[in-house]
Amino acid sequence: MQKATFAAGCFWGVEATFRALPGVISTRVGYTGGKTEDPTYKEVCTDRTGHAEAVEVTYDPAKISYNDLLKVFWENHDPTQLNRQGPDWGTQYRSAIFYHSSEQQAAAQASKEALGKAHRYSKPIVTQIVAAATFHQAEDYHQQYLEKKGLATCHIKA
């Protein structure tokens, strides 16, 4: 099994999207890329901890590739919005790929460059590609939130 970590706005819809993919073993939402130790949702929402709302995906590379996960990431948010997705704004809603290996870093960079060269967007892609940092699991009520509430989605499609 391998891990992949993505930030694409509010983590509820992002998690639901990845959970539905064959080959994804598990997901968990949380906070990463910031400076506060063991941040809470309330702290992250102040936009002062530096964390992004993110989804950690555990997947079976024999059933789904990292490139397939990247494709889903790009297709399910607007990577040109700096520190926001739709009505949600702040650095916690930034677009970011947190890579766990040099192979993931290279694949993420190549996919970002290819998307830019395809001229799909009229604005530049602002997605960060950074090394995975400590992942702080979000509070239990955030895990599989949409499933618990009987909702289908809440994220912005690109």
Catalytic residue ranges? 10
Structure tokens at 49: 């901890």
CA dihedral 24, 28, 33, 37 (to 10 degrees): -150
Provide the 3-class DSSP secondary structure of residue 15.
Answer: helix
Residue burial 98-118, b: 16+ Cβ < 10 Å; e: rest: bbeeeebbebbeebbeebeee
As given in the structure block, the two tokens for residue 42 are 């309330």
Distance between CA atoms of residues 104 and 42, nearest Å: 31
Q: Which residue has the tokens 């702290």?
A: 43
